[in-house]
Structure 1
Amino acid sequence: MSDDVATLLGGLAALAGATGATTLGIAVARRPRPYLPAAHAIAGGEVADPLPTVLRNGLAGLTVPVRPGPHGELYVGPGAPKPGRTLRRLVLGPLFARAQARGGRLCRDQRAPFRLVVEFAGPNRDAGALLRAYRMLDQQLRDHAPLLSRCVDGDLEAGAVTVTVTGIVDVRELLAEQTHRYAFADGSFDDIGSVTAPPTLVPMVSEQWTRRFGWDGCEPIPAEERHLLHALVRSAHEDGRGVRISGLPTGSRRARQAIWTELSEAGVDVIADADYVALARHLRKHPVRRVIPVAPAVRRPSPSPRRPDVTQSV
């Protein structure tokens, strides 16, 4: 009888130990990842709700395609607008609610703004409709003004979230007319040194990799392309702008890792990829090395409950 009791107690102890180990494993799996300022996710049309995965893996940015829909709302994803799939419901609401609940930061170790790129896409390229859509976005952003990077009378102030607009031809003119705004225009390396597209309007240049480079990561990068990459990044930084590279070749994981490594070593500020979970894993092991610091273009606000103290540039 005593042997049976001992066996039973031993089994219960083993079960408790296994349960504890499982619980610990779940806790470790749910532990928030370190914030990765260089990691940027590109939301694919097949992903119903990308934001939770992006935040859980510590990525510091998201490009999301939107299109105007009924009643002036902006809808996420390809195809006809689907009920409930609005930018406000899937992205803006959860993003700002998280920052508000955490005292103005998306996570405890956030030191750079989360970069939300709103990409106007789709067959409807009517300029008037797109400009009206931007005005809707502008109004939705103003509802969360204390958490946003902004430009006020030519001065930049960094917030928990920086919003960039792309896909609207005339958006620069519209943004430039606003003396107090909460969004910025997307740019390219052609904007470096431009008087009409200063860093206060275009703080980050962004290009598809294949526009200037042919290397696909399968072989060592040609010396000419490496030199060009480093020169472009250095020029952008000296002009007070960050650099975001997207549109990377969709080869093997090994080839993409080779490209990510080259971009990191060149000092590219933001690497954007649809395979963003693997990208985050790679950047945790191989962080971006900044070669030339971006010129101090941000007037940093003093810490307060309504204005987050996120210290890096927009």
Structure 2
Amino acid sequence: MIRRALGMLVAAGAMLLVATPATASGVEPLPRAHAHNDYEHDRPLLDALDHGFTSVEADVYLVDGELLVAHDPEDVVPGRTLQSLYLDPLAQRVRAGHGHVYPRSRQRLQLLVDIKNNGVATYTEIDRVLRGYGKMLTTYHKGKVKPGAVTVVISGDRPRDLMAAQQKRYAFYDGRLSDLGQGGASLIPLISDNWTNNFTWLGEGEMPEAERAKLREIVATAHRDGQRVRFWATPDTAGPAREALWRELVAADVDHLNTDDLAGLQRFLREHDTERAAA
């Protein structure tokens, strides 16, 4: 009974968020800003948009036919779905913005959906659900990509063969560094990887020149193939080390900076990333 009541309250709250989405009028979109574990903020999606973020991440479990958003399986709550927290408020926002997430800006939003269980089954349900939001989504159809206001990228337990075989897709595949240099941006527009698996430098002292060169080569190769770059597991505690690492990522033209600190990254990018202005 308690669990059911909690689910009803969450669902009602989600409906309220859809009914009154933040306008973020006057907020400058920040092309590099990625909200890691976005759903753990007080107002999923809306807090990120109010800080100008242009990429948000939602972990998803398929439970009893629902795409439930949570970090761990014990945290899932009925009604707290991908649709109620993200797709519905985005659809309303895009309608209100005449095809745009941010008023007076063509900056697109990336919705990174991290599948946490049952990859094929969960993706199949995601694909079914996304068809109802096709008007706002970037889509792939018979070799061609049609840009939309929102681009869904599938991470986590992602079924590559299934996605690659689809003639029409409403989502794209989150690649790894092992996919770098192989092209295929129409399937893999994003290359993501664990920073600590590839670099030893965590912001203390000078970045080793060999690692700086490696980072820039990764970015150059991805950009040559029309792909974007993101690293997770970068330092995210406020202080000189985090800022030093963020500075190197911006200098290397890494496309998405990963954080749970919305205000902290917003301040940093406004001060240090003035050259990459949103369209």
The question of 1:142 aligning with 2:131 is answered: yes
Cα RMSD over matched residues?
Answer: 2.1
Q: Which of 101, 113, 118 is residue 118 of structure 1 equivalent to?
A: 113
Q: Is the 8 A contact 1:96 1:147 kept in 2?
A: yes
Equivalence for 1:228: 214
1:73 to 61, 66, 70: 66
Q: Which has the larger radius of gyration?
A: 1
Partner of 1:55: 49
Asked if 2 retains the 8 angstrom alpha-carbon contact of 1:229 and 1:266, the reply is yes
Structure 2 Cα separation of the partners of residues 135 and 232 of structure 1: 32
* 2:170 is equivalent to residue 182 of structure 1: yes
C-alpha separation between the residues in 2 aligned to 1:289 and 1:222? 25
**Contact 2:36/2:57 (<8 A) preserved:** yes
After TM superposition, list the pairs within 5 Å mapping 1:263-274 onto structure 2: 263-274=249-260
Partner SS, residue 269 of structure 1: coil
Q: Determine the structure 2 residue equivalent to 1:192.
A: 180
Name the structure 1 match of 2:3.
none
After superposition, give the CA deviation of every residue in 1:240-295 in whole Å (9 maximum; x if it has no partner).
Answer: 211122221244422111111110010111112122321122111111767xxxxx
Equivalent in the alignment of 1:37 = 31
| Equivalent position SS for 2:103 | coil
- Choose which of 168, 186, 191 in structure 2 pairs with 1:205: 191
Once structures 1 and 2 are overlaid, which stretch shifts more, 82-91 or 30-39?
Answer: 30-39
- SS of the residue corresponding to residue 50 of structure 1 reads coil
Q: Residue 47 of structure 1 aligns to which amino acid in structure 2?
A: H
Match of 1:255 among 218, 236, 241: 241
2:39–2:45 contact (8 Å) kept in structure 1: no
Q: Which runs of 5+ in 2 are unaligned?
A: 1-23
Deviation string 1:213-256 (CA, Å, 9 cap, x unpaired) is 11111212111111111111111111221112222124442211
In structure 1, the partner of 2:119 is 130
Pick closer, same or farther for the CA change 1:244–1:112 going to 2, 3 Å.
Answer: farther
Q: Following the alignment from structure 1 to structure 2, what is the Cα–Cα distance between the partners of residues 192 and 109?
A: 34
The CA deviation string for residues 194-217 of structure 1, in whole angstroms up to 9 with x for no partner, is 26xx11110111112112111111
Structure 1: 5+ residue runs without aligned partners?
1-29, 291-309
Rounded to whole Å, the distance in 1 between the matches of 2:39 and 2:25 is: 28
Q: What SS does the corresponding residue of 2:226 show, helix, strand or coil?
A: coil
Checking the alignment, whether the CA contact within 8 Å between 1:42 and 1:276 is kept in structure 2 is no
CA contact (8 A) 2:100 2:107 kept: no
Report which of the two has the higher share of strand. Answer: 2
* Alpha-carbon distance between aligned partners in 2 of 1:64 and 1:232, rounded to the nearest angstrom: 26
TM-score by length of 2: 0.84
Cα distance change of structure 1 residues 289 and 237 upon mapping to structure 2, 3 Å threshold: farther
Q: Deviations over 1:154-187 (max 9, x none)?
A: 1112110000111225x11111111111100110
Q: Report if the CA contact (8 A) 2:236-2:259 is conserved.
A: no
Structure 1 counterpart of 2:177, one-letter code: F
1:96 and 2:91 equivalent? yes
What TM-score do the two structures reach when normalised by structure 1?
0.75
